[in-house]
Structure 1
Amino acid sequence: MDLATLSLFLPACFALNMAPGPNNLLSVSNATHYGFRRACTAGIGRILAFAGMIALAGAGLSVVLQTSQWLFQAIKIIGAAYLLYLAWQLWRANPDAGQQVTGAAAGFFALARQEFLVAAGNPKAILLFTAFLPQFVDPTRPVPTQFAVLGVLFLLLEWIAISAYAYMGLHMRRWFAEPRGKRIFNRCCAGLLSAAASALLMAKRA
């Protein structure tokens, strides 16, 4: 893979990584409630989900999603339902509690599982990998190797995005130290997650 291709891929890829979405919003919320380090480590769940999607896209499973209407609908309904569940938990969270919860205990595995399920519940993601990554693959060179390199770079940039959004959430925690501020923040996040669920339900196959 030459430098010219990388010079096009990296900024375009990072723009996708930094785009606001349910997972990045979750990083902000987790950092606000549990701290920067825990929000970043929870992102491992998202990385694992995206790594699996990249592997599936490379194996051609995206064709199944593009041709199977019922499978696409089933995945996006489950994903939207989980987002709505998280939104409900945030909406009813007690702002006076020392630890906020978004559906489960605040341990690493619980938060990582949230990140994984939110990422895995969006069938458009695997289609995005199929539509985006191949644009930077040279068919005259070994395709699997190029796809693997692009996938690793995407995941590295995604980790930077996780850290960036978690850092924002860390500073927002100082702004919402009072119970009233926590309630406003929780309900704003709940509204945005509900909007993301609605957008997911309206999503159509590319």
Structure 2
Amino acid sequence: MSAFFIFVFVMSFTPGPNTMMAMASGQQRGFRSSLQLNIGMLSGMGFMGLMGALFAHWLQSTPTFLTVMKIVGTAYLIYLAYHMFISKPGEQDDSTGGFKTGMLLQLTNIKGYLYFITGLGAFSLTGLLNNMPIKWLLMVLIGSLGTFAWTVCGTMMSRFYKRYYRIFNTIISLLLVFAAADLWR
């Protein structure tokens, strides 16, 4: 059981496209204004988890689906990187901060699919925790805590960000491009 929780926490709190966007949104907009992005990510994560639970076997045995998701994910990450690169503090550009962005980012996040396919299929827990809906709910809640935590960190850095936003935006943009390239390894 501890292996499951270690896996879920490591996958939820380590950097990825969603955590980078959550941090950037916290830096640029603050926590309250970033809630829509985080709720979009939560919704996307819940839907992705349901699809992972229902179609885990098919997803694992259909390389065409993964290739299509990689193409869509790569295009979307590059789109977000561009918008992140050109954004300035205080801009309310929905392309990098709204519900739709959070949902789409999560639905094209290959790391998220692997998170659910592995977490729901590879770990046997004891008692009530082995129930698929309970495991799904735990994974969604802990995964969402990860993005909210990155948003809080971004919010705490906002004053520093406003002074050095060009450096931060460049770094985040490069990390998003790296994440897009990393999909193909």
> So what's the TM-score if we normalise by structure 2?
0.87
Whichever residue aligns with residue 95 of structure 2, its letter is G
Listed as ranges, the matches of 1:1-150 within 5 Å are: 5=1, 7-59=2-54, 61-93=55-87, 95=88, 98-99=90-91, 101=93, 103=95, 111-137=98-124, 146-150=131-135
Q: CA-to-partner distance for each residue in 1:148-167, whole Å, 9 max, x for gaps?
A: 11111112212221221011
Q: Going by fraction, where is helix more abundant, 1 or 2?
A: 2
The unaligned stretches of length 5 or more in structure 2 are none
Deviation of 1:33 (Å): 1.0
* Larger relative contact order, structure 1 or 2 (CA cutoff 8 Å, min sep 6): 2
Deviation of 1:43 (Å): 1.2
Partner secondary structure for residue 49 of structure 1: helix
Q: Name the % identity.
A: 26
Q: For this pair of structures, how many residues does the alignment match?
A: 185
Deviation of 1:194 (Å): 0.6
Do residues 177 (structure 1) and 172 (structure 2) align?
Answer: no
Measured in 2, the distance between the counterparts of 1:185 and 1:123 equals 24
Q: CA-to-partner distance for each residue in 1:13-71, whole Å, 9 max, x for gaps?
A: 11211011000000001111111122234211112122122212221x23333332322
Partner secondary structure for residue 157 of structure 2: helix
CA RMSD of the aligned region, Å? 2.4
Whichever residue aligns with residue 175 of structure 2, its letter is L
Measured in 1, the distance between the counterparts of 2:152 and 2:15 equals 14
Deviation of 1:124 (Å): 4.7
> Which residue does the alignment assign to 2:148?
163
- Does the 8 Å contact 1:46/1:119 carry over to 2? yes
The unaligned stretches of length 5 or more in structure 1 are none
> So what's the TM-score if we normalise by structure 1?
0.79
